[in-house]
Structure 1
Amino acid sequence: MDKSVNVFVCANLVMAYCWLVARLPCAAETLRADGFLVEPGGKGLNVAVGTRRLGAEVSALVGVGRDSGGRCLRDLFAAEGISTELVFDFDTPSGHGAGLIGANGENLIAVYPGANDRLEASHAILSQAAIAAADLVYGQFETSLGVLWECFRRARRDGVRTALNPSPWQPTAPQLLALCDILIVNEVEAQGLIGCGDLVQDTLMGCLAQVRGHVADFFRTWSGELLVLTLGSRGALAFPRAGNCVAAPAYPVTALDSIGAGDAFAAGLLYGLGAGIPLPDALDQANACGAFMAAHRGVLSALPTAELLRDFRRGLAAVQTTTSLP
Structure 2
Amino acid sequence: MRALRILVPAAVASGLLLTGCAGDPASEDSADAPASDGEVTLYAGRDEALIAPLIEQFTDETGIEVEVRYAGTSELTALLLEEGDRSPADVFLSQDAGALGAIADAGLTSPIPAELAETIPAGLTSQDDSWIGVTGRARVIAYDGDVLEADQVPTSVLDLVDPEWAGRVGFPPGNASFQSFVTALRVLEGEQAAEDWAADMAANDPVLTESNGATLDLVNAGELDLALINHYYWYQRAAELGEDAMRAQLAFLPGDPGGIVNVTGAAILTGGAGDPDALALVEYLVSPAGQQYFVEQTFEYPLLPGVEAPSGLPALETLVNPGLDLSDLDSVAETQEMLVRVGLL
User: What is the TM-score when the length of structure 2 is the normalising length?
Assistant: 0.24
**Which structure carries more relative contact order (alpha carbon 8 Å, separation 6+)?**
2
Q: What is the TM-score of this pair, normalised by structure 1?
A: 0.25
Question: Which has the larger strand fraction?
Answer: 1
Q: Which has the larger radius of gyration?
A: 2
